[in-house]
Amino acid sequence: MKQKNKAFDQVDLNASKGSIWFNHLNRVRENGPSLVEDNHIEDTSFTTRAIHAGQYDDPVTGALGTPIYQASTFYLNDETYEAIEEGRGRDALIYTRYGNPSQWAVQNKLASLENAESSIVFSSGMAAISTTLLALLDKGSHVVSSRDLYGGTYNFLYEDLQKYGMEVSYADPTNIEEIEACIQENTKMLYFESLTNPLLKLVPLHDLAYLAKKYNLRLVIDNTFLTPYNLRPLDHGADIVINSATKYLGGHSDLIAGTVSGSRKLMDRVWGQMLKLGGSLDPHACFLLERSLKTLGLRMKAHNSNAMELANHLEDHPQIKRVYYPGLASYPYPEVVREVLHTGYSGMISFEVEGGDQATLDFVKALRLPKEATSLGGLESLVSIPFNTSQASLTREQRRSIGIQDGLVRLSVGVEEIEDLIKDINQALEKIKVQEPCLTI
Ligand SMILES: *Cc1c(COP(=O)(O)O)cnc(C)c1O
C-alpha cells in the first residue's frame, strides 16, 4: 500500500484526462453556471463559504438570501436565443429542467464546498447516481465496483446496466489488489462509496485515484456518509463526487435531493443526460438545501464529536460485542486510509449487541431518543437494523458472508447532547440484559 502511494504522488492529477479529443480542445472552461461572482470568499474556511458562496440576494427588493424562483419557464430574449444557438444552454435561463436561479445558487454553494468547478442538484440521490452513470458510460463499458453499496445503486448496477449492454465487476472495496485485478480492456469507471454501509469501511481513495490514472478510468465516489466537511474526494483524484443530499447535506430529515460535482467538462455531460432523464431539483427544495448547507460544517462538527464519544463508550460496554467506527483505534484498516479525512469520521456507527437479532430488536424498541427509521444524517438520531431493513433481502448466511453478524445495529448519531444519548442507550441495554437466574438455597 505504502509503495502504491509513493507512485501516486508522482502522478500529475491536474493533467487532463479523458478522450484525446477533449485533451486537444483549447476552449476555456468556465465554472458555474452562476448569477453572481463569489467575491470575498476566496481562501476562506469551509463554514464561511457554506454561508456566503452562491447566495443570490434578491436584486429587485434587496431582500437578503436567494429567493425561491418558483417558475417553470423564463422570458426568451436575444441573449437566450443566442445561448441556445451557440450550445450554451446550460448558462442561460430558459426552462427549469434546464436551469433555474434557485438551482444555480445552491449548486454554486456546493461547488465551493466540494472544491469543484461545477455542481448539479438532482431530485434524489438515485437520480444523481443513475444520471451520472448513464452520462459517462457507453454500450460495452465495464465498471469496477463493490457489493458494499447503497441498495438502490447496487440494483441499478446489477439490473439496469446489463440491459444497456454494460458489465460490472464487484470487488472488496478495501482490497486494492482485488480491485486492480478486476480491471479489463473495456473498463471505463471505478465506482465506490467513500465510507460504506453498514460496516463503515473506508475505501483507499489515494490508491483508487492511482488506479484511475494508471488505466485512464473515471473515478466516481459516493461521499454521502462523510460529506465534503470530512472529505473532499475531488482534492484526492476523484473525477466526480456524488451525495445523497437527503442525508447530511439536507440534514433535517425533510427533503429528498442529490448532488453531483466535478469539472465543468464532465458536469456538462451529466447535465445533458439530466435533461433527458428529467431528475432536476424543484426550486423550493433548492431553497431548503441551500439553507441546510449553511450549517453543514456546524452540524458535522457535532455529529463527528458525538459519534466519536459514543463509539468509545460502546466499545467499553460489556453488552456490546463489537463497534464499527473509523475513528476507533480498533478500526481494522491501514492507517493510510484515514489520512484523507480532515475533521472527523462522521456520525454513523454500527455495533453488535450481545444476544443476537432478538436482543437487537428489543434494544431498538427500548430506546427513547433515537427514532427507529431508515435514512441517516438528520439532527435527530436514527436507528435501524440491517437484517430487517437494508440487507433484508439476504439470507443469514449471505449476510454473514459479507461481514454482517447477528445483532448488528446501525445508528445515525444525531446532534442531541451526548450525555442524553449515552444515558438512553445505557437504559435500553440495561432493559435487555439477560437476567442471571436467581440463586435459591
Ligand atoms: C440514501 C443513499 C443514496 C440514495 O439517495 P436518495 O436521496 O434516497 O435517492 C445513495 N447513496 C447512499 C450512500 C445513500 O445513503
pLDDT digits (tens, 9 = 90+) for 108-141: 999 999 999 999 999 999 999 999 999 999 999 9
Report the number of secondary-structure helices (H) and strands (E) in the chain.
Answer: 17, 12
pLDDT digits (tens, 9 = 90+) for 130-177: 999 999 999 999 999 999 999 999 999 999 999 999 999 999 999 999
Give residue 80 CA to ligand 1 midpoint distance, Å.
35
Q: What is the pLDDT of residue 382?
A: 98
Q: What is the pLDDT of residue 39?
A: 66
Helix (H) or strand (E) holding 229: helix 227-230
Q: Can you tell me the distance from the alpha carbon of 228 to that of 247, in angstroms, rounded to the nearest whole number? A: 13
C-beta of residue 281 within 8 angstroms of C-beta of residue 103: yes
Q: State the virtual CA torsion across 418, 51, 123, 263 in degrees, nearest 10.
A: -110
Q: State the virtual CA torsion across 360, 362, 368, 371 in degrees, nearest 10.
A: 60
Regarding the beta carbon of 102 and ligand 1, being less than 6 Å apart is answered no
Regarding the beta carbon of 100 and ligand 1, being less than 6 Å apart is answered no
The neighbour count for residue 275, using CB atoms within 10 Å, is 16
Q: Is the pLDDT of residue 17 over 70?
A: no
For the chain, what percentages of helix, strand and coil (3-state, to nearest 5) are there?
Answer: 40, 15, 45
Regarding the beta carbon of 193 and ligand 1, being less than 6 Å apart is answered yes
Helix (H) or strand (E) holding 314: helix 296-315
C-beta of residue 104 within 8 angstroms of C-beta of residue 35: yes
In this prediction, residues 402-421 reach a mean pLDDT of 95
Regarding the beta carbon of 258 and ligand 1, being less than 6 Å apart is answered yes
The residue written with cell numbers 433484508 in the block is 392
Which ligand 1 atom sits closest to the C-alpha of 258?
7
Lowest mean pLDDT of 38-42, 110-114, 433-437, name the range.
Answer: 433-437
Question: Residue whose CA is closest, atom 4 of ligand 1?
Answer: 125
C-beta of residue 270 within 8 angstroms of C-beta of residue 120: yes
In this prediction, residues 419-435 reach a mean pLDDT of 93
pLDDT digits (tens, 9 = 90+) for 333-349: 888 889 899 899 999 99
Question: Residue whose CA is closest, atom 2 of ligand 1?
Answer: 244
Which residue did the predictor score with more confidence, 25 or 373?
373
Q: At what angle do helices 418-432 and 296-315 cross, to 10 degrees?
A: 40
Regarding the beta carbon of 292 and ligand 1, being less than 6 Å apart is answered no
Give residue 61 CA to ligand 1 midpoint distance, Å.
38
Give residue 21 CA to ligand 1 midpoint distance, Å.
34
Residues 6 or more apart in contact with residue 37 via CB below 8 angstroms: none
